[in-house]
Amino acid sequence: MRVVVIGAAGRLGGKLMSMLPATYEAIGADIGGDGVAQLDVTDFAATRAFIAEQKPDIVIHTAAWTDVDGCAKEPEKALVINGYGTQNVAIATAACEAAMLYVSTNEVFDGTANRPYYEYDRTHPINPYGYSKVVGERALMSLNPRHYIVRTSWLFAHGGRNFLQAILGAAQAGKSLRVVTNEIANPTYTDDLAEAIVKLIQTERYGIYHLVNEGACSRWDFARYALDKAGFKNTPIARISTHEWPRPSVPPAYTSLANIAGAAQGIQLRPWQQAVEAFLEREGLLVS
């Protein structure tokens, strides 16, 4: 299988490049980075030409502007990158009869449900980031029938910047911590997500999937668990609400995702607590 990974210089894209079977021919592309082809998905002509030249069996599109607050400040930029950039990739893949996998987000939902969201629940984003990702989803669904849409949430990865890294860094520096209790979703380990995506593209069962580590929790619970396992049980974390943490973007309060479709294909990610422990162990931080 010939696979193009767009966003290959990022944490998820890079992990996918390393986890694809050796029998696959993998080509990485990104707007920047070493060892990958240079590609700006907002350039339609360049995107169409690049994908046509590569003749892939599938394109995995992980590239996105994921700065949620940045998207709130510049919603049209978010729309161009996440929405119409994805549309460009969808048109290009459809033209060469390649399948396409698009990585989306829990923030396509409004957070008002009283149960975990199912794959085909109605989307209703409440911030520009979520809206831009919905535009990408709809573009792909309308343009390429051979599509996978993979929604995930609260990714944490080795290196880079993410919530878990920030919490651990603050504790190590002896800084005071304040974390919200009324924002709930599924913490998801990038390594586990990449493994699940590799399994998914081998099924050729197209559709929408929620690939997250099992279980949901608050930001506070996520932080508390990680710090306890990393030896910071005595580090206090003040409980606050989202109203006490003003930010440009409004996050949906409850966006736990239910993995129904993936589980039906035998694709399930371990509980988020086990994933956090695996992350800490690889970082050399797991003490209990």
The per-residue pLDDT for range 56-112, each reduced to its tens digit, is: 999 999 999 999 999 999 999 999 999 999 999 999 999 999 999 999 999 999 999
pLDDT at residue 222 in the model: 97
Question: Which residues constitute the domain of residue 147?
Answer: 2-160+187-216+255-271
Residue 4, beta-bridge partner list: 27, 59
84 lies in some domain: yes
Burial 147-181 (b: 16+ CB within 10 A, else e): bbbbbbbbbbbeeeebbbbebbebbeeeeebebbe
- Quote the number of domains for the chain: 1
223 lies in some domain: no
Answering whether pTM is above 0.85, one says: yes
Provide, rounded to the nearest whole percent, the portion of the chain with pLDDT above 90: 94
231 lies in some domain: no
76 lies in some domain: yes
Through-space distance between the first and last CA atoms of the chain, rounded to whole angstroms: 42
119 lies in some domain: yes
104-119 tens-digit pLDDT: 999 999 999 999 999 9
| Tokens 């504790």 -> residue | 171
226 lies in some domain: no
pLDDT at residue 246 in the model: 86
DSSP H helices, 96-240, are 128-143, 163-172, 190-201, 219-229
pLDDT at residue 288 in the model: 67
180-196 tens-digit pLDDT: 999 999 999 999 999 99
173 Cβ contact list (under 8 Å, min separation 6): none
Helix axes 128-143, 85-95, angle to 10 degrees: 10
Q: Which of 24, 102, 118, 129 is the catalytic position?
A: 129
Answer yes or no: are the C-beta atoms of 153 and 255 closer than 8 Å: yes
Model confidence band, residue 50 (pLDDT cutoffs 50, 70, 90): very high
pLDDT surpasses 70 at 285: yes
- Residue 215: φ, ψ to 5°: 95, 150
Average predicted confidence (pLDDT) for the chain: 96
129 is annotated as an active-site residue: yes
Residue 55: give its domain's CATH number.
Answer: 3.40.50.720
141-164 tens-digit pLDDT: 999 999 999 999 999 999 877 899
pLDDT at residue 159 in the model: 87
59 lies in some domain: yes
Mean pLDDT of 243-259: 93
199 lies in some domain: yes
